[in-house]
Amino acid sequence: MGSEAKVPLRRELLVNLGLLVVAALSLAVVTALVVQMFDPRYALIALLALIAADAAIVFAFGRYLLDRLVLKPVNALKEAAEHIASGDLDRRAPRAETRELDELALCFNRMTERLLDAQSQVVQSEKLATVGRLAAGIAHEIGNPLSAIGTYLEVLKKRDAIDPDLLASLRREAERIDRIVKSLLDYAKPRAEETGLVDLVAVTREACELLKQQGVLKNVQFRLELDPVPLSVRARHYAMEQVVVNLVLNAVEAAPGGSIVVGVTRWVLEDSALAAKRRQDPDREGASHRRPDATTSRRPQLAPGEPGALLYVADSGPGVPQEEREKIFEPFYTTKDPGRGTGLGLAIVQRTVHELGGLVWVDDAREGGAAFKVFLPLAAEAK
């Protein structure tokens, strides 16, 4: 129920105070009539007793009104603030009975969301600055040796001075180091590209077609579920293509020989999505009650009811246990066997989506595995 359907506090107080006055006057009349029935010797005592009883009744009713309409919601608001300050980030102020205090509770909850987002921007900026320095150092220290290794391998190949299988293994490992460095650089400083109107349906179709042509999807049962009409979002074409590719590759590795469903549909943001995303924030424990992401203050504030586009990639793999969902988007965190992944793919996905003002989270899939979901608000031109 929205606050517009609530009873105004002023009207509620005036009506109840009016009833209180009527009740008090009625009691006074009853008191005057009852006193006449007493012996004159005890009339004064009876009158004082009835007045005291009337006053007690009026006081009790007034206190009940004050507690129910004012003190109870204010105390609930205070309790919610104390819980949030102590680290219970899921706590929110409950809805109130009257319009004014209900609007106050809603404003308090919105303020809490925005403060947590604002604090997270500082954390994310500090993290990215650190990762950027680390990536630059790694690129400088590893780049030159990698070039030298590549040159030496070419020389050895021409001289036939090394076993071909060993040569292939050396080349594969060198390329793997190169991919790790490039992924780290992409995470710390993504490719510069202006945002514009991007059709998420078309981008998803193109990315999946590219993966098909490369043979990535030949060993899985693949299905596309795309909205029949374009869904335009404010994004970067290359960045969104990389988001789709990373999520699909992650699903292929999680469900080899299984089924994968990729879809894009029009969707309205729900409370459950915001709650799921908040629980899975990787900075939550390590950032002193801060939410992650959003590298700039230009990130829009998302609220339930926001119209947008939902991209989902679901698989039939083992899924993501609840205890790992809070870590799955952290850089270098991976559940794959050693050597099979860098743990940067999902971190890059999260950074990209949050920079574009969207949300990304993991849920249970109908296929039995994990369903990674990306929500982006529709561009103003598409609403």
Write out pLDDT tens, residues 135-163.
Answer: 666 665 666 667 777 777 777 777 666 66
Pair 345, 286 in one domain: yes
Provide the CA 326 distance to its chain's centre, in angstroms. Answer: 11
Question: In DSSP terms, which residues pair with 226 in a beta bridge?
Answer: 264
Pair 70, 178 in one domain: no
pLDDT tens track for 278-306: 555 554 444 333 333 333 333 446 777 88
The tally of domains found in the chain comes to: 3
* pTM of this structure: 0.53
CATH label of the domain that carries residue 280: 3.30.565.10
Question: Any idea which of 48-52, 72-76, 247-251, 348-352 has the lowest mean pLDDT?
Answer: 48-52
Q: Please return the burial class of 164, using the count of CB atoms within 10 Å of its CB with bins 0-12, 13-18 and 19+.
A: exposed
Whether the Cβ atoms of residue 365 and residue 371 lie closer than 8 Å to each other: yes
Pair 130, 224 in one domain: no
Pair 339, 224 in one domain: yes
Would you say residue 338 has pLDDT above 60?
no
Report how far residue 349's alpha carbon sits from residue 246's, in angstroms, rounded to the nearest whole number: 7
Question: In DSSP terms, which residues pair with 375 in a beta bridge?
Answer: 310, 359
pLDDT at 230: 92
Pair 22, 148 in one domain: no
pLDDT at 247: 93
Q: What is the maximum alpha-carbon separation in the chain?
A: 131
Domain span including residue 167: 122-186
Which SS3 state, helix, strand or coil, does residue 315 take? Answer: strand
Provide the CA 116 distance to its chain's centre, in angstroms. Answer: 11
Would you say residue 372 has pLDDT above 60?
yes
Would you say residue 210 has pLDDT above 60?
yes
Whether the Cβ atoms of residue 207 and residue 248 lie closer than 8 Å to each other: yes
Would you say residue 133 has pLDDT above 50?
yes
Pair 269, 360 in one domain: yes
Closest CA to 71 of 33, 46, 52, 97: 97
Report how far residue 201's alpha carbon sits from residue 183's, in angstroms, rounded to the nearest whole number: 26
Is position 113 within any domain?
no
Matching residue, tokens 């700039």 = 296
Question: In DSSP terms, which residues pair with 267 in a beta bridge?
Answer: 308
Pair 259, 346 in one domain: yes
Report how far residue 184's alpha carbon sits from residue 334's, in angstroms, rounded to the nearest whole number: 15
Is position 13 within any domain?
yes
Whether the Cβ atoms of residue 363 and residue 371 lie closer than 8 Å to each other: yes
Whether the Cβ atoms of residue 50 and residue 26 lie closer than 8 Å to each other: no
**Mean pLDDT across the stretch 118-134?**
59
Of the residues 82, 97, 112, the one at which a domain ends: 97
Pair 61, 176 in one domain: no
Is position 244 within any domain?
yes
> Backbone dihedral region of 226: left (phi > 0), alpha (psi from -120 to 50 degrees) or beta?
beta
Question: In DSSP terms, which residues pair with 313 in a beta bridge?
Answer: 262, 372
Is position 143 within any domain?
yes
**Mean pLDDT across the stretch 268-278?**
69
Pair 206, 175 in one domain: no
pLDDT at 301: 65
Pair 78, 182 in one domain: no
**Mean pLDDT across the stretch 119-124?**
60
pLDDT at 144: 66
pLDDT tens track for 37-83: 766 666 677 667 777 877 787 788 778 878 888 888 888 888 888 88
pLDDT band at 314 (very low <50, low <70, confident <90, very high): very high
